[in-house]
């Protein structure tokens, strides 16, 4: 039987390269052998979702949630499935949307209260929040270590947008050369 850690590493690489069928093939033997692992189910679900098999993706995300309902990866995957309208709305969709709303609210609260260390642990994907973080922190003259890490993380998340957002690009350059 293949090593779980090695298979997950391979699957992550393949998914990042858009090779969803190959990623699913790499994972399939472990799934067939009844291995239960949160990230194994999440990677398999992502591959299925990318291959337009929304029903199987939902099933795999739900298996991941049975193992760990607190880790956000499976919730985020389900949210994307429901948002893409590949799945019919049901009770799980409401629970998923509610959870997403609560997580976004928690992140905004961490930001407003200055709990940057907590925010750093789970940034989410909210572009408005990223803009607020960039606007508040990137222009500062002196950064705490936590603020530096947070800015690095946010700029890494929005790096594809820097070319189309001159304000963020300017703040990024200022941040880099301080």
Same domain, 58 and 131: no
Mean pLDDT across 29-52: 94
Among 69, 3, 2, 4, residue whose Cα is nearest residue 36: 4
Q: What is the pLDDT of residue 177?
A: 81
CB under 8 Å to 100, separation ≥6 — which residues? 75, 76, 79
Same domain, 43 and 84: yes
**Residue 67's domain is classified under what CATH number?**
1.25.40.10
For residue 40, pLDDT beyond 80: yes
Confidence (pTM): 0.62
100: tokens are 């997403």
Same domain, 64 and 28: yes
Query: Are 57 and 48 within 8 A, CB to CB?
Result: yes
| 103 assigned to some structural domain | no
What pLDDT, in 10s, does the model give residues 121-165?
A: 888 888 899 999 999 998 788 889 999 999 999 999 998 888 888
Q: Which domain holds residue 124?
A: 113-178
Query: Are 78 and 64 within 8 A, CB to CB?
Result: no
End position of a domain, from candidates 73, 88, 103: 88
124: tokens are 């989410």
């Amino acid at each position: 039987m293949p090593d779980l850690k090695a298979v997950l590493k391979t699957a992550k690489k393949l998914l990042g390269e858009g090779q969803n069928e190959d990623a699913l093939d790499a994972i399939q033997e472990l799934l067939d052998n009844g291995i239960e692992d949160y990230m194994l189910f999440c990677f398999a679900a992502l591959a299925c979702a990318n291959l337009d098999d929304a029903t199987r993706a939902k099933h795999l995300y739900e298996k991941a949630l049975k193992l760990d309902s607190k880790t956000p990866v499976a919730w985020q995957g389900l949210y994307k499935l429901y948002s893409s309208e590949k799945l019919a709305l049901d009770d799980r969709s409401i629970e998923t949307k509610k959870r997403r709303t609560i997580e976004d609210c928690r992140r905004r609260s961490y930001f407003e209260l200055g709990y940057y260390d907590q925010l750093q642990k789970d940034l989410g994907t909210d572009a408005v929040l990223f803009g607020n973080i960039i606007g508040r922190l990137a222009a500062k003259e002196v950064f705490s270590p936590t603020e530096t890490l947070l800015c690095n993380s946010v700029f890494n998340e929005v790096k594809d947008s820097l070319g189309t957002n001159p304000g963020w690009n300017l703040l990024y350059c200022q941040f880099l050369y301080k």
